[in-house]
Amino acid sequence: MKKKLNIGLIGYGFMGRTHSNAYHQVKHFFDVPYDPVLKVVCGLVEEEAKAFADKWEYKSYVTDWHKVIEDENIDVVEICVPNNMHAEIAIAAAKAGKAICCEKPLALNVSQAEQMVKAVEEAGVPNLVSFNYRRVPAVTLAKMLIDEGRLGKIFHYRANFLQDWTISTEVPQGGMGTWRLDVKAAGSGVTGDLLAHCIDTAMWHNGPITDVSAMTETFVKERMHTETGKVEPVGIDDACTFICHYDNGSLGNFESSRYARGHKALYTFEINGEKASIAWDLHDLHRLSYFDHSDESIVRGWRSVHVTDSDMPYMDKWWVPGLQIGYEHSFVHQAAEFLQSLADGKPASPNFREGLATQYVCDAVLKSAKNKKWETVKKA
Ligand SMILES: NC(=O)c1ccc[n+]([C@@H]2O[C@H](COP(=O)([O-])OP(=O)(O)OC[C@H]3O[C@@H](n4cnc5c(N)ncnc54)[C@H](O)[C@@H]3O)[C@@H](O)[C@H]2O)c1
């Protein structure tokens, strides 16, 4: 029988559901070294925490996250709460010797992220940041193709993450559901919420970003604050565009907005190399577009690879060729690799230090937009 591994989940919202689903699914599809047990869930409202525990089969529920950390039976803490709470919980969990999986962005700002890295490294506890898009099979396939040298020298890596849900001036800031619009809870707007994903994936694919030049805009300058009941200034960036250089000499171009009418979660990237190009689109996440210049010219063109064959990343664990998987599976892959890393004693990736590298880019982006100058990115 496999050793049981007790999971404590903090936050039962959107991410609380994806992480719980992942731990339910993972042992059925992956040969994982542990049997994960959903031991305790923590959330703010008692009846909601109880209902969540019943629905997702947690053994217990609490409303104070300190109880999860103090519980000696908990092996892994999953941090799925708003960004302003990540640091305090992660640092306490590290001191208590727990393995930690923290949602992105790692922290509210660079200073908190640096303290989190120090805490996990001093305590020597396993740590992972939930940049789950790396684990979409088509995105992982892109990494494989780049690492095999199929693209040759890379010239361009561009990415967009577009939404449209905050266009109405009636959308409030703060509180449940709309904490992302409150700078005190989120740290930043689209930069930390959406571009952090694009930056993590871009640096995984194409290496470190060295410097950035950015602009941001806050289209709606004041919104009702749910907690105070008053109309207050909005401190987040509603839209952000930046250009950058990578260490390898290529150029980057990134855009994110919550004001792109018609787009719900359009994360796309395109990579252009000397020999080939790759493009990917979250709305069609099981496909990878690929252009190979070495093809005979009469049949050369963009091909759409259906990422379902068993020799493609992760796909041997799921159904038969031709049958695709979706968004939630990226979290199952994350859980599988995290559990394996715990058994192997090897760091999972992206760890907190890699999360800090992304935080440094976000910080440089926000500084550049404010100062209207190029900013150098600190190395993590
Ligand atoms: N990896 C991804 O693709 C992805 C997607 C969405 C969100 N996120 C990240 O996940 C985190 C949570 O986002 P979400 O969309 O799940 O938010 P959400 O608003 O859906 O859920 C937040 C949860 O935090 C809980 N919470 C708030 N304050 C608390 C407190 N003091 N004690 C205990 N629980 C508390 C709430 O009860 C709620 O269950 C954020 O850091 C966000 O950036 C990541």
CA-wise closest residue to 27 among 317, 263, 269: 317
Asked if residue 264 belongs to a domain, the reply is yes
CA of 13 to the centre of ligand 1 (A): 6
Q: Are residues 253 and 370 in the same domain?
A: yes
d(CA 238, CA 258): 6
CA of 373 to the centre of ligand 1 (A): 33
Q: Are residues 84 and 225 in the same domain?
A: no
Q: Are residues 198 and 335 in the same domain?
A: yes
CA-wise closest residue to 55 among 93, 17, 5: 17
Digit-coded pLDDT (tens) for 43-80: 999 999 999 999 999 999 999 999 999 999 999 999 99
Low-confidence residues of the chain, pLDDT below 50? none
Model pLDDT, residue 1: 86
CA of 175 to the centre of ligand 1 (A): 11
CA of 105 to the centre of ligand 1 (A): 11
User: How many other β-carbons are positioned within 10 Å of the β-carbon of residue 110?
Assistant: 19
Pocket probe mutation, ligand 1, options 10, 80, 106, 334, max atoms within 8 Å of Cβ: 80
Q: Are residues 237 and 343 in the same domain?
A: yes
End residue of a domain, out of 86, 107, 129? 129
Give the CATH number for residue 170.
3.30.360.10
Q: Are residues 282 and 312 in the same domain?
A: yes
**CB of 12 closer than 6 angstroms to any ligand 1 atom:** yes
Q: Are residues 87 and 163 in the same domain?
A: no
- DSSP states of 32-52: -SEEEEEEEEE-SSHHHHHHH
CA of 176 to the centre of ligand 1 (A): 9
Q: Are residues 121 and 148 in the same domain?
A: no
Pocket probe mutation, ligand 1, options 9, 14, 52, 55, max atoms within 8 Å of Cβ: 14
End residue of a domain, out of 74, 102, 129? 129
Q: Are residues 88 and 153 in the same domain?
A: no
Nearest CA to ligand 1 atom 27: 81
| Sequence-ordered list of residues with C-beta below 8 angstroms from that of 326, at least 6 positions apart, any chain | 285, 286
CA of 187 to the centre of ligand 1 (A): 14
Model pLDDT, residue 263: 98
**CB of 128 closer than 6 angstroms to any ligand 1 atom:** no
Give the CATH number for residue 22.
3.40.50.720
**CB of 82 closer than 6 angstroms to any ligand 1 atom:** yes
Asked if residue 81 belongs to a domain, the reply is yes
Q: Are residues 206 and 269 in the same domain?
A: yes
**CB of 255 closer than 6 angstroms to any ligand 1 atom:** no
Total count of domains within the chain: 2
Chain centre to alpha carbon of residue 139: 13
Boundaries of domain holding 199: 134-350+355-375
d(CA 29, CA 318): 7
Asked if residue 366 belongs to a domain, the reply is yes
CA of 20 to the centre of ligand 1 (A): 13
Asked if residue 380 belongs to a domain, the reply is no
Residue with tokens 């890699």, as numbered in its chain = 354
Residue 216 three-state SS: strand
Asked if residue 59 belongs to a domain, the reply is yes
Asked if residue 97 belongs to a domain, the reply is yes
In order of 177, 221, 285, 365, the CA distances from 260 in angstroms are: 20, 17, 20, 20
Environment class of 88 (CB within 10 Å of its CB; exposed 0-12, middle 13-18, buried 19+): middle
Asked if residue 58 belongs to a domain, the reply is yes
CA of 299 to the centre of ligand 1 (A): 48
Asked if residue 50 belongs to a domain, the reply is yes
**CB of 133 closer than 6 angstroms to any ligand 1 atom:** no
Which DSSP helix (H) or strand (E) runs through 108? none
Q: How many helices (H) and strands (E) does the chain have?
A: 11, 17
Q: Are residues 152 and 89 in the same domain?
A: no
Q: At 302, which amino acid appears?
A: W
Nearest CA to ligand 1 atom 3: 132
**CB of 126 closer than 6 angstroms to any ligand 1 atom:** no
d(CA 223, CA 219): 11
Q: Are residues 157 and 217 in the same domain?
A: yes
Model pLDDT, residue 334: 98
Q: For residue 368, what are the β-bridge partners?
A: none
Q: Are residues 105 and 245 in the same domain?
A: no
End residue of a domain, out of 67, 96, 129? 129
CA of 78 to the centre of ligand 1 (A): 11
Calculate ∠ Cα 192-190-103, nearest 5°.
40
